[in-house]
């Protein structure tokens, strides 16, 4: 599918993988809507790309509806929904002091990562459904979700994060089946370790990232956000890619810690 002349909404578009995707889609001629909590960076990026910023907490369905309305209001047909907003969390099921995992933190991670993805996927797809098909197949648009390899092999302390990302993986096939009725494809990317602000900027963060590289097979480095954006773009372009969960990880297989 050609994105040129379409609107694309990108949750988490103010940083990291979402930002790189917003830049790539704008470069390819899409009008981007950056839907993010981070007003300052989100607005700066949207302005730079000639797009629109919508301050959005993806776990709040009214705010997601408003962001999708902003995409529709661009006057360009909404054809692309990218879910990239997400938060990390580390907490053991039972910690070293014997205390069980907090239910508040578990709920928070599920609300942002999983329910946030659910909101933008369904509310975005409902808006895509109101556009005219673009081709002889009856295609109207594409949804791309961001899970993680932690969905498949979560490490120690990733109970909540892995559950949230596993839920995104689990939604992929049924969503693709449901949305086939309106000509929308759905794919999910499971990144490994990509160098983004999610790891922070301290010297500890650099040390932490260096450790994470060890199990990467090849190339022996962190992934780059622009490489992620390139994959997103090729999944949008290739009309036969649907209902797929794709690892994007330099061959990494996570160890328990």
Please report which residue ranges of the chain form alpha helices under DSSP H: 16-27, 39-48, 61-72, 103-109, 116-128, 159-179, 203-213, 225-237
124 contacts ligand NAD (rule: CB under 6 A):
no
Q: How far is the CB of 8 from ligand NAD (least distance, A)?
A: 16
Listed residue (184, 195, 181) closest to 228, CA to CA = 195
191 contacts ligand NAD (rule: CB under 6 A):
yes
User: Which of positions 79-98 make contact with ligand NAD (CB under 6 A)?
Assistant: 84-87
Task: Give 195: exposed, middle or buried? Use CB within 10 Å, 0-12, 13-18, 19+.
Answer: middle
Q: How far is the CB of 217 from ligand NAD (least distance, A)?
A: 16
User: Facing residues of 247 across strands?
Assistant: 190
Stretch that binds ligand NAD, among 57-65, 73-81, 98-106, 174-182 (CB under 6 A): 57-65
In the β-sheet with 184-191, what is the strand arrangement from edge to edge? 52-55, 31-36, 7-11, 78-83, 141-146, 184-191, 244-248
- Can you list the positions of beta strands (E) in 85-160? 141-146
110 contacts ligand NAD (rule: CB under 6 A):
no
For ligand NAD, the closer of residues 134 and 144 by Cβ is 144
32 contacts ligand NAD (rule: CB under 6 A):
no
Q: How far is the CB of 37 from ligand NAD (least distance, A)?
A: 4
The one among 15, 31, 74, 188 contacting ligand NAD by CB under 6 A? 15
The one among 6, 21, 31, 59 contacting ligand NAD by CB under 6 A? 59
The two most distant CA atoms of the chain are separated, in Å, by 61
34 contacts ligand NAD (rule: CB under 6 A):
no
106 included as an active-site residue: no
In degrees and rounded to multiples of 5, residue 87 shows phi and psi of: -130, 150
Residues that bind ligand NAD (CB under 6 A): 11-12, 14-18, 36-38, 56-59, 84-87, 112-113, 116, 146, 148, 191, 193-194, 196-198
């Amino acid at each position: 599918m050609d994105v040129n002349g379409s609107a694309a909404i990108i949750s988490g578009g103010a940083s990291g993988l979402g930002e790189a995707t917003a830049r790539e889609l704008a470069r390819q001629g899409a009008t981007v809507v950056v839907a993010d909590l981070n007003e300052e960076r989100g607005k700066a990026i949207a302005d730079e790309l000639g797009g629109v910023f919508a301050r959005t907490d993806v776990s709040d369905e009214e705010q997601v509806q408003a962001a999708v309305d902003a995409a529709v209001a661009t006057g360009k047909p909404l054809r692309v929904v990218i879910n990239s907003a997400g938060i990390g969390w580390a907490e053991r099921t039972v910690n070293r002091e014997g205390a069980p995992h907090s239910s508040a933190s578990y709920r928070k991670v599920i609300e942002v990562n999983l329910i946030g993805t659910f909101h933008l996927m369904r509310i975005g797809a409902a808006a895509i459904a109101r556009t005219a098909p673009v081709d002889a197949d009856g295609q109207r648009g594409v949804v791309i979700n961001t899970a993680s390899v932690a969905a498949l092999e979560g490490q120690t302390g990733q109970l909540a994060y892995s559950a949230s990302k596993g839920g995104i993986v689990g939604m992929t096939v049924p969503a693709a089946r449901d949305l086939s009725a309106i000509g929308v494809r759905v794919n999910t990317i499971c990144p490994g370790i990509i160098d983004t602000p999610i790891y922070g900027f301290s010297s500890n963060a650099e040390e932490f990232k260096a450790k994470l590289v060890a199990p990467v097979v090849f190339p022996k480095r962190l992934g780059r956000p622009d490489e992620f954006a390139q994959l997103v773009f090729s999944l949008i372009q290739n009309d036969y890619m649907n209902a797929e969960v794709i690892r994007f990880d330099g061959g990494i297989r996570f160890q328990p810690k």
